[in-house]
Structure 1
Amino acid sequence: MKNRDVASDRTDRVLVLNSGSSSIKYQLLEPVSGVVDASGIVERIGEGNGAIEQRADGEITRRAERVADHTTGLRLVFDTLSAAGRDVLSEGVFAVGHRVVHGGETFYRPTLIDDGVLTAISELSSLAPLHNPANVAGIESVRELLPSVPQVAVFDTAFFHGLPAAAKTYAIDGEIAAAHGIRRYGFHGTSHEYVCGQAAELLGRDPAQLNQIIFHLGNGASASAVQGGRPVDTSMGLTPLEGLVMGSRPGDLDPGIVSHLMRSAHLDIDQVDTLLNRDSGIKGLSGVNDFRELQRLMANGDSAALLAYDVYIHRLRHYLGAYLVELGAVDAITFTAGVGENTPRVRADAVAGLERFGIAVDPVANAARARAARRISPPDAPVAVLVVPTNEELAIARAARRVVAESGCASAR
């Protein structure tokens, strides 16, 4: 994180919030320069052992205390920022940008939040029950504590709004699908869009001239096929459950499993929902959902961990092959997010044996540790294999700044 002159103008900063059901991740940054003032996370909201961890000026601050709700959590954020010389309450910010997971059919671009927008985001909670209610709680908390500061929602689904009909349509009764908003929406769109642009910049190419496959591999994981800068397919669907194997989510699943579990195991719908969202994926197969812990178990020969890894890679390669065919020709394959950026073995195994398709990684380049965007394929390989760090917070901050500036809200504060 870059340092900055704390005496400079404060009103050019944007506070970016990612509110989860029991956490608030945040960054205070300058969207033009990308300089980060401070970043942190409040954890275990609503539990008895809440805590905050913040990084500012290279120093880490940790504090443990009970955090009753999101408003209490946000007050704790502001107190901790103030102690580090960033008094948001008195000095203000240009805008607050929120990561909102599901925009449904309604929202497909960054949107200034008013009463109607907030209500609509809340009504979309049926499509993202673990995410949108928490996003709403974060927005309402900012309204209470920073009532005069404009807020902007940046939707995870927005980048994929314009998917081709064949890619977004499920083969179920059309009237039922239309009545209940059932289609493939896609998620991690802010990351995929940002990485798409950064990959093109790294290659010195116009995104409109590139076909890309992007793997966002974190605790949540998704893939996208991007043709000329526009997505034509993505792995996540109506909800973030579909697609790749994830930390605690299964990815692609025979829907008959749900009815089978309800009849055979006598699970109700909430129990099935918990199983699929919290107790499946890598965690369900190995008992852990942290990829670093999975690798430790694998190194010790744990058979469950080895199987979990093999299933994970199998699904990655499945989507890689599908998108190669769908795009017809691929210029770049890019890995991003926590696992994608930091796990050379995953990258190597994902593309192993694909040399005849012009796809390979250089072992030395792949193993090298670096934070910058980089190429890890041989220089003469027809397909560039890249590692590009994602920066959803910067993308959200820039979108929020643009929307507020265009709306004229900033001058009214």
Structure 2
Amino acid sequence: MNVLVLNPGARQLDFALYSGSESLPSRSGRIDDYRGAAMCRAALEKVAEQCLKGIPKEPGAWAWAVRIPFGGELFARPALLTVETVRSLETLVPLSPLHLPAIIELLAALNDGYAAQPAILAFETAFFAGLPAREAGYALNAELTDAGALRRFGYHGLFHEAACAHARRLQKSRRAAGTPRILSVCLDPQPEVAAVIRDRPVMITSGATPLEGLPGQTTCGELDPGIIIALSQKMKWGPERINAMLTRESGLLGLAGERTTLGELLASEHYEGALGRKVMNYRLLLACGAGIAAMGGLSHIVFSGRYAGLGETIGPQLISRIMRNRPEPSGEIQQHCFRSSLGRVVADNAMTALMALPERETAG
């Protein structure tokens, strides 16, 4: 089957066509601005024109797959695009106001103009919808937390889910015994660590937004909330200025004093990035320690994301530090690099979901 993957951001729309199990897309591109109903229709027409020439139109020949960054507690698994699905997403706009409004317009245009082919929605937060209450909750006013408005999620759930499945397959192929206890390290511009027992996440570094947790290329990571109050009171900064500082001027950019990618920083030995490397490696080690404690052990470390290949360097260092501090090592820790792209992961997620749907649903 051919899967046409859409990855909508707050402004840009990336697209790629995947055929069968091919790791690379046969066609791909980007639309710089798709916002607004008319722009959504025009964007989908351009995507179809570039990607669907020569693709059979009969049912089952191809499908859409759309990556959605936030699905809250409503979407704990992939969903088929329907009018009802869009209505459910609309109720989540207050929890994700920067991304969901434009995406909802795109989905409405997709449902109106291309209803003959199924469209699967793949949610980054779905893998973490069932986090244990002790991990998902904040020590805040119960009225806020009980309503589900403020709780932790993971924001690279598609990578984590696929990478952990990869680790389990490798364990099964070796006929290794025991319950997999997996540290899943997503090395993306906003990195994230998850602790997963078999296929159930029990710890995540991100919070109610991706800002919490590890520092990113331009995002601050874990921060004392008092700093935000101080910026408001002492610097007289408003919400927009504070948001710009936390999301676009902090993280590795703030530590290194210049723009750098996570891959460049961790792979380099330059003096200018020394502090950034120390902070990143230290925070990564702390996160791994928290994950091991949450799982009660460790059997695998798996790396995914844009810079998954760095796991070949970082993995042995982490394992060395972890083993050094284990009073009674209880077995070898397996290390893996899951190198699939996000588009390929979304396509696989959609194909799995399509196979699980009744035939009458996929036929529209």
The TM-score range, normalised by the shorter chain, is 0.7 to 0.9
The answer for the alignment partner of 2:201 in structure 1 is 231
The answer for the alignment partner of 2:337 in structure 1 is 387
The yes-or-no answer on 1:38 pairing with 2:47 is no
C-alpha separation in 2, matches of 1:239 and 1:349: 29
The answer for the alignment partner of 2:359 in structure 1 is 408
SS at 1:309's partner residue? helix
Counterpart residue type for residue 259 of structure 1: I
Larger RCO, structure (CA 8 Å, separation 6 or more): 2
Counterpart residue type for residue 88 of structure 2: A
Cα deviation, residue 223, structure 1: 0.6
Cα deviation, residue 345, structure 1: 4.4
Superimposed CA distance per residue, residues 100-148 of structure 1 (whole angstroms, 9 cap, x where no aligned partner): 1111121111111222321332332332333323432432342354232
Do the aligned partners of 2:70 and 2:124 also contact (CA within 8 Å) in 1?
A: yes
Q: Label 1:317 to 1:356 Cα distance change in 2 as closer, same or farther (>3 A).
A: same
SS at 1:338's partner residue? coil
Q: TM-score, normalised by structure 2?
A: 0.85
C-alpha separation in 2, matches of 1:383 and 1:127: 38
Q: TM-score, normalised by structure 1?
A: 0.76
Cα deviation, residue 245, structure 1: 1.3
C-alpha separation in 2, matches of 1:254 and 1:88: 55
Q: Label 1:357 to 1:257 Cα distance change in 2 as closer, same or farther (>3 A).
A: same
SS at 2:4's partner residue? strand
The answer for the alignment partner of 1:290 in structure 2 is 261
C-alpha separation in 1, matches of 2:131 and 2:152: 9
Do the aligned partners of 2:79 and 2:121 also contact (CA within 8 Å) in 1?
A: yes
Counterpart residue type for residue 233 of structure 2: R
Higher mean Cα deviation, 162-171 or 114-123? 114-123
C-alpha separation in 2, matches of 1:141 and 1:80: 18
Aligned residues: 356
C-alpha separation in 2, matches of 1:250 and 1:275: 8
The yes-or-no answer on 1:19 pairing with 2:14 is no
The answer for the alignment partner of 2:65 in structure 1 is 97
Compute the RMSD of aligned alpha carbons.
Answer: 3.1
Superimposed CA distance per residue, residues 341-389 of structure 1 (whole angstroms, 9 cap, x where no aligned partner): 2465444544453343579xxxxxxxxxxxxxxxxxxxx9711122222
C-alpha separation in 2, matches of 1:234 and 1:271: 28
Equivalent residue runs for 1:263-302 within 5 Å: 263-286=233-256, 287-294=258-265, 299-302=269-272
C-alpha separation in 2, matches of 1:388 and 1:233: 20
C-alpha separation in 2, matches of 1:267 and 1:44: 30
Do the aligned partners of 1:104 and 1:124 also contact (CA within 8 Å) in 2?
A: yes
SS at 1:335's partner residue? strand
C-alpha separation in 1, matches of 2:79 and 2:204: 23
Q: Label 1:315 to 1:300 Cα distance change in 2 as closer, same or farther (>3 A).
A: closer
C-alpha separation in 2, matches of 1:170 and 1:88: 50
Higher mean Cα deviation, 321-330 or 191-200? 321-330
- Aligned identity (percent) is 26
The answer for the alignment partner of 1:189 in structure 2 is 157
C-alpha separation in 1, matches of 2:56 and 2:326: 51
Q: Label 1:383 to 1:358 Cα distance change in 2 as closer, same or farther (>3 A).
A: farther
Cα deviation, residue 276, structure 1: 1.9
Q: Label 1:149 to 1:404 Cα distance change in 2 as closer, same or farther (>3 A).
A: same
Do the aligned partners of 2:17 and 2:28 also contact (CA within 8 Å) in 1?
A: no
C-alpha separation in 2, matches of 1:122 and 1:411: 23
C-alpha separation in 1, matches of 2:178 and 2:66: 28
Q: Label 1:232 to 1:81 Cα distance change in 2 as closer, same or farther (>3 A).
A: same
User: What is the aligned counterpart of 1:397 among 347, 353, 364?
Assistant: 347
The yes-or-no answer on 1:218 pairing with 2:188 is yes
The answer for the alignment partner of 1:255 in structure 2 is 225
C-alpha separation in 2, matches of 1:358 and 1:180: 37
Q: Label 1:265 to 1:208 Cα distance change in 2 as closer, same or farther (>3 A).
A: farther
Structure 2: state its 5+ residue gaps: none
Cα deviation, residue 186, structure 1: 1.7
Cα deviation, residue 206, structure 1: 7.6
Cα deviation, residue 312, structure 1: 1.2
Cα deviation, residue 93, structure 1: 5.1
C-alpha separation in 2, matches of 1:234 and 1:337: 16
C-alpha separation in 2, matches of 1:214 and 1:295: 18
The yes-or-no answer on 1:28 pairing with 2:23 is no
Equivalent residue runs for 1:9-408 within 5 Å: 12-30=1-19, 33-34=21-22, 37-45=25-33, 69-81=39-51, 85-86=53-54, 94-179=62-147, 181-203=149-171, 204=173, 209-286=179-256, 287-294=258-265, 299-302=269-272, 305-342=273-310, 344-357=312-325, 382-404=332-354, 406-408=357-359
Q: Label 1:346 to 1:44 Cα distance change in 2 as closer, same or farther (>3 A).
A: farther
Structure 1: state its 5+ residue gaps: 1-11, 48-67, 360-379
Q: Label 1:208 to 1:247 Cα distance change in 2 as closer, same or farther (>3 A).
A: farther
Counterpart residue type for residue 239 of structure 2: I
Q: Label 1:146 to 1:46 Cα distance change in 2 as closer, same or farther (>3 A).
A: closer
C-alpha separation in 2, matches of 1:107 and 1:222: 21
Counterpart residue type for residue 273 of structure 1: N
Cα deviation, residue 271, structure 1: 2.2
C-alpha separation in 2, matches of 1:231 and 1:339: 22
Q: Label 1:342 to 1:88 Cα distance change in 2 as closer, same or farther (>3 A).
A: farther
Do the aligned partners of 1:111 and 1:153 also contact (CA within 8 Å) in 2?
A: yes
C-alpha separation in 2, matches of 1:291 and 1:133: 30
Higher mean Cα deviation, 143-152 or 209-218? 143-152
